[in-house]
A and B are shown apart, each in its own frame.
Chain A
Amino acid sequence: MQNAVFQFELKHWLRTPLLYFFLCCYFGLALLTMLGTGGYFDGPISSSAKVQLLNAPFSLTENSFFFAKALLFLAAMILTSSLMRDYKNKMHPILYTFPLSNGYYLNGKLGSGLAVLMLTSLFTFLGIIVGEIFLGTSNPKIGEFNLFGYLTMLGAYVLPTLFIVGSFVFVAVGLTRNAFAGFIVVFLFFLIHQMLQYISFSSPQALALLDPFGQYAFQWTTQSWDFQAKNSSTLPLSWVVVFNRMGWLLLAVFALGYYYFKFNFQFDPIWEFRKRQVAEKSAIAGIDRQSLRDSVVQFDFSFAGKWRSFFGLLWFDFRSVIGSWMFWLLSGFGVATVLFMQLKVTQTGDFNLLPFTRILLHGPLLLYTLILIFSTFLFSSSLVYKPKQHKMDALVDATPTNNWQLFGSKIGAIALVQLIQLALFFLLCVCIQLYNGYSHFEISLYAYHLLVLVFPLLLVWNIAAHFSHTLAPNIFLSLFLLIGLWLGSQSLDQFGIDTWLLKFNLRPDLIYSDLSGYGAGLPGYYLIAVYWLVMGGLLLAGIYLFWNRGSLQHFTERWTRLKSRWSPPVLGVAVFLLAALGWLGFQIHQQEAVNQSSNTAHNNRVEQLKLHKENWKNYSDLFLPKINNIDLQIDVFPSENRFELQGQYTLHNDTDQPIDTLLIRTGYDEQTTINLEGNAHLILADSALKSNLYVLKKTLAPNDSMPLSFEVRSMPNSHFSRNSGVLTNGTFLKHDILPRLGYQFYENELPHSDSLACKHNFYHRDADQVHLQTKISTSANQIALAPGQLITQTKKENRIHYQYKTTHPVKFNFSFHSGNFEVKKETYQGVNIAVYYAKGHAYNTQLMIDGIKAAFRYNTTNLGPYPYQQIRIIEFPHTEGEYSATIMANNVPSSEVLFAINSAAMEGKINLPFYVMAHELTHEWFGNQAMPASAAGAKMLTESLTEYLTLCIYTEHFGDKIALEFLKQQHKRYHRGRKREKSIEQPLSQVADHQQYIAYGKGAIVFNTLDHYLGRQKMNEILKSYLTKFGGHPGQYPTTSDFIQLMKSKTTADQHVLIDELLTGSAYYNNQLLSVKKATTNQLELTIIVEKKDGSAGPSISIETALFEVGQFDVDGRLLGTSVVLLSSGRNVVELDKVAGATSLVLDPNLLWIDLDWGDNRWELD
């Protein structure tokens, strides 16, 4: 039987022009996104670049989640509209008396809505296909057309998601008979999807299974895919994807079933949050008994009276929003989102932070603001459409209330609701801080951030929402347009539009640091915020002119009304606002134009470097002198965000050739003047790349020296670009402000056989270790710090002057600081340890000092002396580096993030403050004293060794169990990095500069395994020999080959196999403890699968025999004993003596080998 409801609804949609508007919108969105991502607007693309194919099944599905999410808002609109149409048009009293079954009626409604949605989604993906055709196969991002990829994406992800969310929308709207319920359901699905990320699941599959969009299931399925697989593999339907999709589809069907069962062709909604109380009919006798007495009330239409009325109306509207279930539901979700997110930040993440105000005002507030913006759209539409929806409009419109009172009170009410929600956020944050035992409440920071920065943004959205509701013919279109504007503005960059003038109500990111505040970006932020506020003012004028009052039938009536409201004051305000907008827009445009080159330099740094490499490569083989002595005078002016520097290098010709040419490159962000005192001619200058070529009048003979003087000034900050490294507090300048010699972009991966490799260190070709003397001054209320020992400190005219000098030659890695610091000091074995930190950041200073002391103890005992008399840890704002800390001579500049680590939530995690400081101090031996050659694998000799030694320090300080946790984290780190690898995995001895997961994660694992088999003493002996041989010998820098050779010289031949496998191979295992059975009373029979793979080539490697450990643990997780078993590739059956009290067995309990899945290496005994 044909479904008449379905046919009627479908015909209705096909006759609706709005549908075609949406089809065009989604088609256009998909097409433009595809073209934008494919670089269609960016000019020709290098075909040699290694890129991810956009039309490979992986990329198609990965990108389809964006489109599926965009389609969900349409789903809310279409399904709500279909279901509500009969109520809206008062057809339901008639239809409900027809002999229709629930299924017939609802199937027609749901089916037609889903059919329209499917049509729109097909148009969307047609847009992608057309984009693919436009880009063509000559585009390196486009591969062969893959129909199966499209079908898998639609069938497994997009269409099921539309059905799942669409069903819940349908049910929610049907049960509540509320037009907003659908939009709220969609938004809640978004929040659930987002919130799942912040929940700490015991199993990674749980996250994948619970995601309503299937996105995390897709990510789980493809988690081990490398670059090649992403471009060529078809998408498998893993069990996680199948269970995820089936589970949610079942839930959707259950929800529909419930609604189908409950639906009863009744007038009233099935769910009502408050039961109706029918008023008893009052007696009507005597209705005219009362005479109409003269009024005793006052009508006040004065100016003040109008404002009193305005606030009365505002309060009425405010009450109606606050009393709505929508408010409580969305606020509840907002609170839950913040709680889950902060839980991840402070308790359950890989590392946890204290709930500093700035931290809560960043991530959690960002998400909360999204909820507030969406709430604003919904609440404002509920207020604007409410009179019409409840047929009160004629009563209200005929009253002597001015238009501005009517719409102004609604805008005011929403603004008040926003303030309440911000206050709720504030209270929530305070509660979170209290819960975490943090009591440094920065009320003024909260107030400023929430009221001055966030509220104006919400206010403009508030006005924009009212403007949209005033102009749009219906509520759904208005919401759709608003959401489109909201999301569209954030995507403009993709289409090459990067001016703030067009990104509606967006502002630059403003990141707060406890040291430097909001920094130099604040004026630019204000400029843009005021620009959008003025735009809000114009929209307000638009609302005034177009506000619907009475019945409007056609455009001419709107025009007549507009003319009747157009008055000289309105004209005056509009002209003023337009002029202000124009002026502000011009200012923004000017700033953007002024900063264009600077922005380009910042944004296209890679391009700049590439250009530099190409333009100056001819000069890469120039013989150059080396910098060996540096004198600096730095004057820092924190309040003016600037510095002035005068310096002098002593250049020494270490080569056996006379030098007549100098290539000098200066800092990108500074103005530098080079003074060669008339000893040279400038023959080639490149101001964009800051490189100059000089010919010396007098050649520099071998072993001769010459001075090089220079002056450096910081560039002034502009509104949108921070050019100066000087901050109001926490200035952190590095050696990159200083001029450098020669071509700076040598490939690090020189082969070990290259004779040049050992001539230069990995870090700098123009310097070995240098002597540095720094005179640094700053404002009197700050402390200035530089490398070396403090020689003098004097105060003159509100400025304080320091003189520092290095007592030993140091690596050309310096930092200069100025800030209002508190200082914590300790002395350990004659060395002064000092932590310079911002007020209120003392939480982790002791842990840092402990890390320094532990590293000091281990390294000085086993490796050699520490050359300085002091070590300083200096805090810098996280805007200058999120997680970094680097040893620079005897200073360890550390990001303020390290000072915010929540030390109370470190169980099972790395003790970051301790670890970082131990790691950095260890670099003094491996990185500073022994610098590796400029050759492939250099980071093994710095980071891997340092990470291994940090593990040794960990073991010594915390014991084996905690050290094992540390090692576990290194395994995780390796696996995480490997998933993101876009090229072939190198062996540790050839590790590339960017392969951190190998240098750190695998490095720690490999050297720990060597330590396990060679012994700690042997390892220390090898490392000490290495330091002795290569430490402090400029021009004889070691490669990893040298290290391996030295290692082999200290070990036996059978150990060489292990050394080679671990350091020069890239094998990993996928082993499994398949089963454990009782062989006899005291014997266990273990079945173990061994699979060894080669990381660089892929296929399995056959092994004849290899030794593996099996550990036996008691119920408390204590290791009772370890047995060594001999295994070969494939299935192995071995027998072991059971240790009394053992409850579980673990293959490789000491985490000696890299295994793809540790989960299957454990067996619980009955």
Chain B
Amino acid sequence: MQLSIQQISKTYPNGVRALDQISLDIPAGMFGLLGPNGAGKSSLMRTMATLQFPDKGTIHFKGQDIFQDKIEYRKQLGYLPQDFGVYPKESASQLLDYFAILKGITSKKDRKIAVDRVLEITNLSDAKNKRVSTFSGGMRQRFGIAQLLLNQPKVMIVDEPTAGLDPAERTRFLNVLRRIGLENIVIFSTHLVEDVREICQDMAVINKGQLLTQIAPKEAVRQLEGNIWETTLPKEKQLAISNTLKALSTHYNDENELVTRVFASQRPSANFEAAPPKLEDYYFLTINQ
């Protein structure tokens, strides 16, 4: 089971090239899609969800072009967009029942079973008779997952689902995704590298519509071993480092000193200490190339 993206491109009427010849093979498991804001993640997600046509290129699932028979593909698709809303007057169970119809569960009895099951999985059973419009951000995201799970999809596309969630909700949410991703394809876009590191077996980094890399997070970290260095220098010297070295990121330590991480095959100078590589280093290294 694999989702295969071949050379897809998309340019919007205002001239923005959102996708530029992207090719990806996404196997079963959790797949992270990383990129800065405006990189084209949502465009790629929408295209994979058949909600927009690429100008060029194809996407195949199980060997079938998804745009040739969209309905067949959608039977196996679960999609949670970045910013979704709900009908204000419907309760969670009513709205899920509606989605269950949309997803092909025609028997009322079956719909009840399916709705109860996804409510239970997302721990929304107690709130099933409440209007979804009154849910908190985390509950609403869980509701999004609940609707996604209704048709037991093989391909799940989840666009920045942890944005706005508190840490506890985020952890639980990622756990659910990880669980789902054991047997299915879960494509998970985020600009939080940490999320990808925690749950994804594979990932891709895109920027300005182009695929920069596709790699397993562990492999990405492994590749950086011995190449990441840290230093705490006064602010005025930071600029010099940036000009001469591949500076990846900066942050303040507990002593309120500015810590700069750089990529180098050898220790740049005595002021630098070796640091354990992080997936974030790989991400910055990739998008800054």
- Give me the interface of A with B, judged by CB distance under 8 Å: 274, 276-284, 286-288, 290-293, 295-301, 305, 308-309, 312-313, 316, 320, 323, 386, 390-392, 394-402, 549-554, 557, 560-561, 564
Contact = CB atoms under 8 A, between A and B. Distances in A.
Nearest to B91: A279
Contacts of A391: 83-85
B246 interface: no
Given A279-B127, A391-B84, A550-B52, A287 B104 contact: no
A394 B157 CA distance: 12
Counting chain B residues whose Cβ lies within 8 A of the other chain, the interface size class is 35 or more
A286 to B, nearest CB: 7
Interface stretch (B25-33, B112-120, B219-227, B234-242): B112-120
B104 A299 contact: yes
Interface stretch (B134-142, B186-194, B275-283): B134-142
Given A296-B110, A323-B89, 13 more contacts: A281-B136, A281-B139, A288-B176, A299-B103, A300-B104, A300-B107, A320-B87, A320-B89, A391-B84, A392-B86, A400-B102, A550-B51, A553-B13
B105 A300 contact: yes
Contacts of B254: none
B103 A399 contact: yes
A400 B103 contact: yes
Nearest to A564: B67
B106 interface: yes
Contacts of A402: 71
A819 B67 CA distance: 68
B188 to A, nearest CB: 16
Nearest to A302: B106
A394 B102 contact: no
B123 interface: yes
Contacts of A399: 74, 99, 102-103, 151
A395 B102 CA distance: 10
Contact of B179 (A280, A288, A305, A395): A288
Contacts of A277: 130-131, 134
A392 B122 CA distance: 20
A312 B103 contact: no
Interface stretch (B167-175, B200-208, B260-268): B167-175
Of A276, A293, A398, A553, most B-chain CB atoms within 10 Å: A398
Contact of B52 (A313, A386, A557): A557
A295 B111 CA distance: 11
Nearest to B46: A551
A390 B151 contact: no
Nearest to A286: B123
Contacts of B139: 279, 281-282
A347 to B, nearest CB: 40
A278 B99 contact: no
A560 B70 CA distance: 14
A395 B52 contact: no
Contacts of A394: 46, 49, 51, 79, 81, 84
Given A296-B113, A394-B49, A316 B131 contact: no
Contact of A287 (B84, B102, B176): B176
B287 interface: no
Given A392-B85, A395-B147, A397-B51, A284 B172 contact: yes
A297 B105 contact: yes
Nearest to A560: B53
B52 A553 contact: yes
Given A298-B105, A399-B99, A551 B110 contact: no
Interface of B: 12-13, 46, 49-53, 67, 71-72, 74-75, 77, 79-81, 83-89, 98-99, 101-107, 110-111, 113-114, 117, 120-124, 126-127, 130-131, 133-136, 138-139, 142, 144, 147, 149, 151-152, 168-169, 172-173, 175-176, 179-180
A400 B101 contact: no
Contact of A288 (B77, B101, B104, B175): B175
A294 to B, nearest CB: 8
A279 B130 contact: yes
Contact of B123 (A287, A398, A564): A287
23 contacts: A276-B134, A277-B130, A280-B127, A287-B123, A287-B175, A287-B176, A295-B152, A297-B110, A297-B113, A299-B103, A300-B105, A309-B106, A390-B87, A394-B51, A395-B144, A398-B77, A398-B79, A400-B71, A400-B151, A550-B46, A551-B46, A553-B12, A561-B53
A112 B49 CA distance: 42
B77 A390 contact: no
A394 B81 CA distance: 7
Contacts of B87: 320, 386, 390, 392
Contacts of B104: 299-301, 305, 309, 400-401
A549 B135 CA distance: 27
A309 B75 contact: no
Contacts of B152: 295
Query: Which A-B residue pairs are the 4 nearest by beta carbons?
Result: A391-B85, A550-B51, A279-B130, A308-B106
A293 B149 CA distance: 11
A291 to B, nearest CB: 8
B169 to A, nearest CB: 6
Contacts of B75: 299, 301, 400
A320 B87 CA distance: 10
Contact of A305 (B88, B106, B180): B106
Contacts of A288: 172, 175-176, 179
Contacts of A401: 71, 102-104
B179 A278 contact: no
Nearest to A388: B85
B63 to A, nearest CB: 19
Given A394-B49, A550-B46, A316 B85 contact: no
Contacts of B77: 398, 400
Contacts of B12: 553-554
A395 B81 contact: yes
Contact of B102 (A298, A309, A323, A553): A309
A323 B133 CA distance: 17
B41 to A, nearest CB: 14
B101 A292 contact: no
A287 B122 contact: yes
A292 B106 contact: no
Given A284-B138, A297-B110, A308-B106, A276 B51 contact: no
A352 to B, nearest CB: 44
Nearest to B133: A276
Contacts of A386: 87
B88 A284 contact: no
A278 B134 contact: yes
B102 A283 contact: no
Nearest to B75: A400
B120 A290 contact: yes
Contact of B105 (A291, A299, A392): A299
Contacts of A312: 101, 106
B126 A282 contact: yes
B121 A290 contact: yes
A561 B51 CA distance: 11
A344 to B, nearest CB: 38
Most chain B CB within 10 A, of A281, A282, A313, is at A282
Scoring B50, B75, B81, B144 by chain A CB atoms within 10 A of each residue's CB, the highest score goes to: B81
Nearest to A300: B106
Contacts of A564: 67
Contacts of A291: 179
Contacts of B98: 313, 316
B182 to A, nearest CB: 8
A309 B85 contact: no
Contacts of A293: 117
Contacts of A301: 71, 75, 104
A550 B45 CA distance: 12
Contacts of A561: 53
A279 B134 contact: yes
B121 A292 contact: yes
Contacts of B113: 296-297
